[in-house]
Structure 1
Amino acid sequence: MNGVTGRMGHHQHLVGSVLALRARGGIDAGDGTVLWPEPVLVGRDARRLRALAERYGIDRWTTDLDAALAEPDVSVYFDAQTTAARESALHRAIAAGKHVYCEKPVAGDVGGALALYHAARQAGVKHGVVQDKLFLPGIRKLKRLLDGGFFGRVLSVRGEFGYWVFEGDWQPAQRPSWNYREEDGGGITADMFPHWEYLLRELFGPVRSVQAHLATHIPRRWDENGMPYRATADDAVYAVMELEGGVVAQFNSSWTVRVHRDELLELQVDGTEGSAVAGLRHCRVQHRSCTPKPVWDPDRAAAGDFRAAWQEVPDNGEFDGAFLAQWELFLRHVAMDGPWRFGLDAGARGVHLGLLARMSAQDGRRLHWGELAP
Structure 2
Amino acid sequence: MNGVTGRMGHRQHLVRSVLALREQGGVDLGDGTTLLPEPLLVGRDGRRVAALAERYGVDRWSTDLDTVLADPSVTVYFDAQATTARADALRRAIAAGKHVYCEKPTAGDHPAALELARLARDAGVCNGVVQDKLFLPGLRKLRRLVDGGFFGRVLSVRGEFGYWVFEGDWQAAQRPSWNYRAQDGGGIAADMFPHWEYVLRELAGPVRSVQAHLATHIPRRWDERGEPYEATADDAAYAVLELEGGAVAQFNSSWAVRVHRDELLEIQIDGTEGSAVAGLRHCRAQHRSATPKPVWDPDAPAGHDFRAQWQEVPDNEPFGDAFRTQWELFLRHVAVGAPWRWDLAAGARGVLLAELARRSAAEGRRLAVPDEDAGP
TM-score between the two structures when normalised by the length of structure 2: 0.98
Instruction: Indicate the SS of the match to 1:51.
Output: helix
Q: Tell me how far 1:358 sits from its aligned partner.
A: 0.5
The residue aligned with 2:99 is 99
The residue aligned with 2:326 is 326
CA distance in 1, matches of 2:373, 2:127: 21
CA distance in 1, matches of 2:168, 2:205: 39
Q: RMSD value over aligned CA atoms? A: 1.0
The residue aligned with 1:85 is 85
Q: Tell me how far 1:238 sits from its aligned partner.
A: 0.1
Confirm or deny: 8 A CA contact 2:155 2:247 kept in the other structure.
Answer: yes
Aligned partner letter, 2:322: A
Instruction: Indicate the SS of the match to 1:186.
Output: coil
Deviations 1:354-373 (A, max 9, x none): 01100100110000013998
**Mapping 1:211-290, distance limit 5 Å:** 211-290=211-290
Confirm or deny: 8 A CA contact 2:167 2:222 kept in the other structure.
Answer: yes
Confirm or deny: 8 A CA contact 2:4 2:14 kept in the other structure.
Answer: yes
Q: Tell me how far 1:277 sits from its aligned partner.
A: 0.4
The residue aligned with 2:63 is 63
Confirm or deny: 8 A CA contact 2:266 2:279 kept in the other structure.
Answer: yes
Aligned partner letter, 1:74: V
Deviations 1:171-196 (A, max 9, x none): 00000000000000000000000000
CA distance in 2, matches of 1:326, 1:30: 16
Q: Tell me how far 1:90 sits from its aligned partner.
A: 0.3
Q: Tell me how far 1:74 sits from its aligned partner.
A: 0.1
The residue aligned with 1:53 is 53
**Mapping 1:10-49, distance limit 5 Å:** 10-49=10-49
**Mapping 1:49-198, distance limit 5 Å:** 49-198=49-198
The residue aligned with 2:341 is 341
Confirm or deny: 8 A CA contact 2:294 2:304 kept in the other structure.
Answer: no
Q: Tell me how far 1:217 sits from its aligned partner.
A: 0.2
TM-score between the two structures when normalised by the length of structure 1: 0.99
Q: Tell me how far 1:123 sits from its aligned partner.
A: 1.1
CA distance in 2, matches of 1:261, 1:244: 29
The residue aligned with 1:310 is 310
Instruction: Indicate the SS of the match to 1:55.
Output: helix
CA distance in 2, matches of 1:108, 1:96: 22
- Consecutive unaligned residues of structure 2, counting only runs of 5 or more, are none
Deviations 1:29-48 (A, max 9, x none): 22322101000000011111
Instruction: Indicate the SS of the match to 1:298.
Output: coil
Instruction: Indicate the SS of the match to 2:285.
Output: strand
- Consecutive unaligned residues of structure 1, counting only runs of 5 or more, are none
Confirm or deny: 8 A CA contact 2:151 2:275 kept in the other structure.
Answer: yes
The residue aligned with 1:201 is 201
CA distance in 2, matches of 1:350, 1:176: 22
Instruction: Indicate the SS of the match to 1:175.
Output: coil
CA distance in 2, matches of 1:192, 1:116: 20
Confirm or deny: 8 A CA contact 2:208 2:371 kept in the other structure.
Answer: no
Aligned length: 374
Aligned partner letter, 1:139: L
